[in-house]
Amino acid sequence: MRVLGVETSCDETGIAVYDTEHGLRAHALHTQAALHQDYGGVVPELASRDHVLRLLPLVDEVLAQARMTRRDVDGIAYTEGPGLIGALLTGATLAKTLAWTLDIPALGVHHLEGHLLAPLLEDPPPAFPFVALIVSGGHSLLMDVAGIGRYTLLGDTLDDAAGEAFDKTAKLLGLGYPGGPALARLAESGDPKAFRFARPLTDRPTLDFSFSGLKTQVLLAAQKAGPERHADVAAGFQAAVVDTLVWKCLRALDQSGRARLVVAGGVGANLRLRAELQAGAARRGAAVYFPRPAFCTDNGAMIALAGALRLAAGEREDACIRATPRRDLATLTPP
Ligand code: KG4
Ligand code: ZN
């Protein structure tokens, strides 16, 4: 099956074609970062309007890249949620109407299922079962994954998501929006031991996360130290988040008895996190799987893949156009 994937949950328009026999055929992404920069965050109405403008040209671009026409598409997968309601509706409407005109099925995909299956786009793909760490701008989750649609929540964020903590900390260091990657770059030139920030909730057996308190510690340290030491502050913050995530992942592997760890979501692109997880898991004889950095952040390929696996297994839905801004991953069922 050749499945067109459509991702519009937030501020990137992502389109891709995934072929269940030959793998990923083509993908393209339009990021709205420049559009929202002046506002310090995503403006939902601007995001929706931009998706409307970008969607069809990107579909044409991806089909041309894959040397296909619309008639060669066997199914369409779109992000149904979670995400911004207006942004979700643009992708859902495109997917459902295009599928209607082509007389092919369209299927809504859970955005986080897309993230957690993204490592299956790589070679070698992880085998089920595994533990998944999803760390994005909106979520920090540890899930036990027995198979597609067989998800058990192990740990959740009590306040800020990991990516949100990166973005908010970047903002208070004057690094703009979205600040996560900029903060990670600044941290490279700092000393991670110069400031010692707390590793939240690592002194308790829970697999939940809490990152909001760190921000305050960083703010106080940054004010006291002055701008010339911001690189050290950034390095100290990044080390605290990474240590906390690594500690929780290793504990989740121990508790679940799984031998494989999958890392996904935007913060999965963080180089220090990738290195430390690799080292920590190796010490326990466990394997870690990451998507390439471009498939850690939002993209159409992960939605095409997740939808293709479900469509190929025979899953279908009616022609209603659906967008679900809040959606619990653990309520999903196998195809
Ligand atoms: O998965 P994603 O693209 O969007 C959501 O579904 O939320 O994740 C975006 C998040 C942002 O908070 C961004 O700052 C963070 O991922 N991020 C990073 C890095 N690259 C992206 N955080 C830390 N280090 C990075 N290299
Ligand atoms: Zn995402």
**Which pLDDT tens digits describe the chain residue by residue (335 residues)?**
999 999 999 999 999 999 999 999 999 999 999 999 899 889 999 999 999 999 999 999 999 999 999 999 999 999 999 999 999 999 999 999 999 999 999 999 999 999 999 999 999 999 999 999 999 999 999 999 999 999 999 999 999 999 999 999 999 999 988 899 999 999 999 999 999 998 988 888 899 999 999 989 999 999 999 899 999 999 999 999 999 999 999 999 999 999 999 999 999 999 999 999 999 999 999 999 999 999 999 999 999 999 999 999 999 999 999 999 999 999 999 99
> How far, in Å, from the CA of 166 to the mean position of ligand 1?
8
CA dist., res. 247 & res. 277, Å (int): 9
> How far, in Å, from the CA of 221 to the mean position of ligand 2?
30
- What Cα–Cα distance (Å) separates residue 255 from each residue in 63, 278, 330? 44, 18, 18
> How far, in Å, from the CA of 267 to the mean position of ligand 1?
5
Q: What is the pTM of this model?
A: 0.95
> How far, in Å, from the CA of 265 to the mean position of ligand 2?
6
> How far, in Å, from the CA of 74 to the mean position of ligand 1?
32
CA dist., res. 101 & res. 148, Å (int): 29
Residue nearest to atom 13 of ligand 1 (CA): 180
Q: Among 186, 288, 285, 216, which Cα is nearest to 245's?
A: 288
Which atom of ligand 1 lies nearest, measured to the CA of 271?
26
Q: In 3-state terms, what secondary structure has residue 73?
A: coil
Residues in the chain: 335
Which atom of ligand 1 lies nearest, measured to the CA of 184?
24
- Residues whose beta carbon lies within 6 Å of some atom of ligand 1: 10, 136-138, 163, 166-167, 178, 180-181, 184, 265-267, 269-270, 297-298
Which atom of ligand 1 lies nearest, measured to the CA of 264?
1
CB 260 within 8 A of CB 287: yes
